[in-house]
Structure formats: structure tokens, C-alpha cells
Structure 1
Amino acid sequence: MELKLMKVHGSMNTFYLYEGADRSDYGVLAEELCRLDPEVDGLLAVLPSSSSSANARMRVFNKDGSEASMCGNGLRCVARYVCERDGLENAVIETMKANLKVEKQASDGSIAMYAVEISPVSFKLADLPMAYEGNEEWILKPLPFISETILFTAVAVPNPHLIGIVPAELQKGGAHQQKWAEFFNGPNDYFSDGVNVSYVTKAEDGIFVKTFERGVGFTNACGTAMTASALVGCLAGLVPYGDVSVFNPGGMVKCSVIKGDSGYSLQLAGNATYLSNHLFLWQESGTNSEFISSELLGEQRDYEDFILKTSTISGQFV
């Protein structure tokens, strides 16, 4: 079967995007694409929405074929695709757990920028799920079996995240983070479905975040992790509530964290970059799949100029 694919990224979190009907084997396709192209982190499937209040539906599949409930970087790319397809400035995208508002923002030079709602937000351990000594929440406290000094917070947005505030030296190389992320994403007594593990460090004019993503491994950026880390940074007093600059190995995004009477409102804003168009021959038998043709779209150079502005800060941590 021939498929028309677009290679896209948000903060260098890179995917193939495919619009079509819903299928039960998109996880298999994601594994096949990631095997053939190690640069990508997964597949974004753009589908007709089952909700009358949404313009489209998004499903997200990781490198290992597992399905994620949400992806903030991927949602920005889907937001651009749907808004441009339908001639809109804003839209609603159905995801696994919620219908989320998205909107086009003023371009940074020639870079397409989109803002997306990140919701719902829950600190209940049952919503990750996480089990630890009968606790209902875990906010800004050490996990003694890891460290007596690293403050960890567990939060679902709705993807599950464990976020530690660490000194800059623990960001270098990532060995400490990788050890515990791999532990929590293997057989363990704490996270039955695994968890995204992020380390956060105060940076000039914001925070720096590095994420080991469930089903992926270390990633250039994880949208829900960056947004959740901005929230944790505000809770810890690293940055004030409002707009937070979040630096990562793939660049920088802006996260809005608003504290209200009924909880937190979160928004993620950043690039939605189109890299290339592809015609892909998918052999559903799992053998001899191949890219038939590819066309570069020329947007990456503009993004690389953009990240030069952030490389000095990110370079302090990687």
C-alpha cells in the first residue's frame, strides 16, 4: 500500500505525519518507519474526529509501537496541518483524553508557530499510575532510594511524568537519569505502565529540561514533559507563574502556566516545522517496505537559525 507521509518536527521531536482512516495497525507502521529512519520518534495519525466539536483527531505512536495519550510537540504539527488544510487560525483537536484548543501564532521570522492547550492536569498518583508507600500525591519531595536531595514531582498531563529538579552536573551525559528512567520503564513496583522521566535545572531566563521518554528513550524534546516541567518549576519557585522559557536539546519553547481557583491552565507554544514529503510503500507483511520518493521542503534552515539563539544556554547542560 502506498502512503503519502510528511516528516515534521516540533523542537526537533520528529515524526512522520499521515492523514487517513483509523486503523488498528498504526503501531506496526510506526515501528517500521522508525526502523527505516532512526531520526524519527514516531508517527502522528490525523484522523476524522468522532466529536462534533473537534476539527480532527490525533493518535500518537512511539518508536516501539506503543500509543501515547498525548504529545505536545506532535500536536503543534497536527495543529498546523489541520489549520492550513481547513483555512483556520484556530481549531480543536481530539486526543485520547481530551479535546484540545490549538491556535496559530505570529511567526518567528519565517517559522510557523503554534500554541496548544495541555490538559487535563492531575497530581493524583492513580492517574499516572504510580504506587509508592500508599501516597496519593508526590510533589517536590525526595525519593530516598534515588536521592535524598533531588526533589521529585509526579504529574499527569495526561501523559505520566516524573520530574526531578537537579543540579547542572547531573544533566551532563545523562547517566543518572538514564539509569532510573530505564528502571521505571522496565518491570518495577512503582510505575506499572512506565513513565516519562525529566530532569530540570534552573537556566538563564527560564529552565532547561532533558527527557527520557517512555517508548522512545532520550529525546530532543517532549512537549508534555516541557509543559509539566514548567509547572513544576513554578511550584518550586525556579521561575514565576506566567510565560516560561523552556530550553531543551532540540531548541526552546514557551510554556504558559496560569494558576486558577480550579487548578492550572497550561499552554505550549513553539515551532511546527515541515521537513519533507514522502511516498512510502508499506508492505503490511513487515518485509520490504521502502520509501519510493522524497522531497525536501526547505524549512529546516530557518529553524536552525532560530535555535542558534538558544544554543548558548542549552550547551551549558548537554
Structure 2
Amino acid sequence: MKFTKMHGAGNDYLYIDARDHDDFSTDWSQLSRSMSDRHFGVGSDGIILIEDSGIADLKMRMFNADGSESEMCGNGIRCFAKYAIDRGLATPGAGGIEVETLAGIRTVVPIYDGDRITGARVAMGEPLLEPGDVPVILDPASGYPKGPVTGYPLAVDSLELSLSFVSMGNPHAITFIDQPVGEFPLHTIGPMVEHHSIFPNRVNFETVNITGP
């Protein structure tokens, strides 16, 4: 099987042209786990498949390193566009190319340096802030009204986190901290937040330390 490893801002994926592959004979989830292993595989954040689409120029499917299928990735889709255009799989018009994802159709505009694609811009759409759209299941006793949720308290291990929620096609939970992000115990706390029961589709967990105005 041929693949290409690419990264956007350090977010690295293995790209596979799956237009002629039989989905029923390929376990993409298992393949992603095997290939993404950074010790015994190629090493990556997951695999991204290039497939035909009936509603856009192409379809993108992505599988995380743990084998789960995800809706969208901004860095991943930017590399997807370069892969597709460089190989003649899609021809960008003035508005770029359209890519079908589990989060909907996204438009990607390539950035050129001469005749070489050196970057890409993606229209991620408006952020979804309603808890049901993220999705996140709030404790009814918390008293949060409908609308964007910030500062939601969540006890994880020995920490009391204050979370804000947003979806950009896949769910995110953000906590603002006073310490440098490198000092936060992300390797232990991160998986606990990701798999917490309030997130029915799991969640991407980010820590933010504001260092200046």
C-alpha cells in the first residue's frame, strides 16, 4: 500500500489514495492503529483517506492513531488539498476545492509560491457553541442557561478544571491555566477529559496559558 506522510503545523498524517480500495476488505481503523504507532509503525497522528465524492470534488475520511474515525481536522484537510491538487485529483477554481467530510463540505484555497503550493486556507465555518451541538452533556443542577458555555467546572482526578466548549466540526474543551502549558500534566489528565462521560463523542482537550495582551 502506497502512502504519503505530510504535516500541517506539526499535525502529521499518513495520506492514502483510497478511491480504488474496497472498504469492506480494508479495516481502516486497525490500519491506522498499526501505521500510526511511533515505535512499531510509521508514526503519525492518524491516517487520512482520499475518496471519491458525489457532492464535492473529493471526500476526506480521517482515522485517529487510536483507530477512531473523526469528523474533521483543519491541518489535515489543508494537507489533503495539497496532496489532491499536486497529483491532479482535483483542479482548484477561483474559490479553491470543495472537500466532503463528516462535518460537512469544507472549501480549501491553496496558497502558491510560483507554481508550488506552500500552504492552504480552509473555511472552517462558524463555531458551534450550543452544548447540544458540541456535543456536551451538562449537569442539570449546574444551572447553565442555553447558549455558549464558559467556565464549566469539571473535577478530574485531583484537579478542578474550568472548561469552555466549542465545535469546529469536532468537539473541543478548553481550559485556561496560570502555569506554563508544559507544566500541566496533560499526559494523565488529557485522556481522562477526552473520555469523560459528559462528552458522548469524546473531545479534543486543550490547555491555554495567556502570556501577553
- TM-score band (shorter)? 0.7 to 0.9
Cα distance between partner residues in 2 of 1:93 and 1:18: 15
Q: What are the equivalent positions in structure 2 for 1:128-147 lying under 5 Å apart?
A: 128-134=134-140, 135=144, 136-143=146-153, 145=155
Judged with a 3 Å threshold, the aligned counterparts in structure 2 of structure 1 residues 129 and 100 are, in CA distance, closer, same or farther, namely same
Per-residue CA deviations over 1:270-296 (Å, capped at 9, x if unaligned) read: xxxxxxxxxxxxxxxxxxxxxxxxxxx
In the alignment of these two chains, the number of paired residues is: 196
Note the C-alpha offset of 1:194: 1.5
Equivalence for 1:74: 76
Alignment match, 1:158? 169
**Contact preservation (8 Å) 2:106, 2:124:** yes
Indicate whether 1:31 and 2:33 are aligned.
yes
Match of 1:98 among 92, 104, 118: 104
Show the counterpart of 1:12: 10
Change (3 A) 1:151 1:185: closer
Which runs of 5 or more structure 1 residues have no equivalent in the other structure? 205-237, 239-318
If asked which structure has higher relative contact order (CA below 8 Å, sep 6+), I would say 1
Secondary structure of the 2:82 match is: helix
Partner SS state of residue 126, structure 1: coil
Q: Which runs of 5+ in 2 are unaligned?
A: none
Q: Distance in 1 between matches of 2:108 and 2:63?
A: 20
Q: Which amino acid aligns with 2:67?
A: G
Q: What percent of counterpart residues are identical? A: 23
Whose strand fraction is larger, Structure 1's or Structure 2's?
Answer: 1
Q: Is the 8 A contact 2:35 2:43 kept in 1?
A: no
Partner of 1:55: 57
Go from structure 1 to structure 2 and tell me whether the alpha carbon gap of 1:192 and 1:170 turns closer, same or farther (over 3 Å shift): farther
What is the Cα deviation at residue 50 of structure 1? Answer: 2.3
Residue 41 of structure 1 corresponds to 45
Once the two structures are superposed, residues 31-58 of structure 1 have per-residue CA deviations (whole angstroms, 9 ceiling, x without a partner) of 121133363110010000121xx11000
Report the AA paired with residue 83 of structure 1.
Answer: I
TM-score, structure 2 as length reference = 0.80
Distance 1:27 1:12 in 2: 22
Q: 1:47 to 1:91 in 2, by over 3 A?
A: same
Matched with 2:194 is: 185
Cα deviation digits, residues 101-132 of structure 1 (max 9, x gap): 10112449x87111111135211111232112
Q: Which residue of 2 aligns with 1:202?
A: 210
Q: Give RMSD over aligned pairs.
A: 2.6
Structure 1 distance, partners of 2:133, 2:120, is: 28
Tell whether the 8 Å contact from 1:162 to 1:197 is kept in structure 2 after alignment.
yes
- Matched with 1:243 is none
The answer to whether the 8 A contact 2:71-2:169 is kept is: yes
Structure 2 counterpart SS, 1:145 = strand
Structure 2: distance between partners of 1:164 and 1:178: 15
* Contact 1:137–1:154, Cα closer than 8 Å, also in 2: no
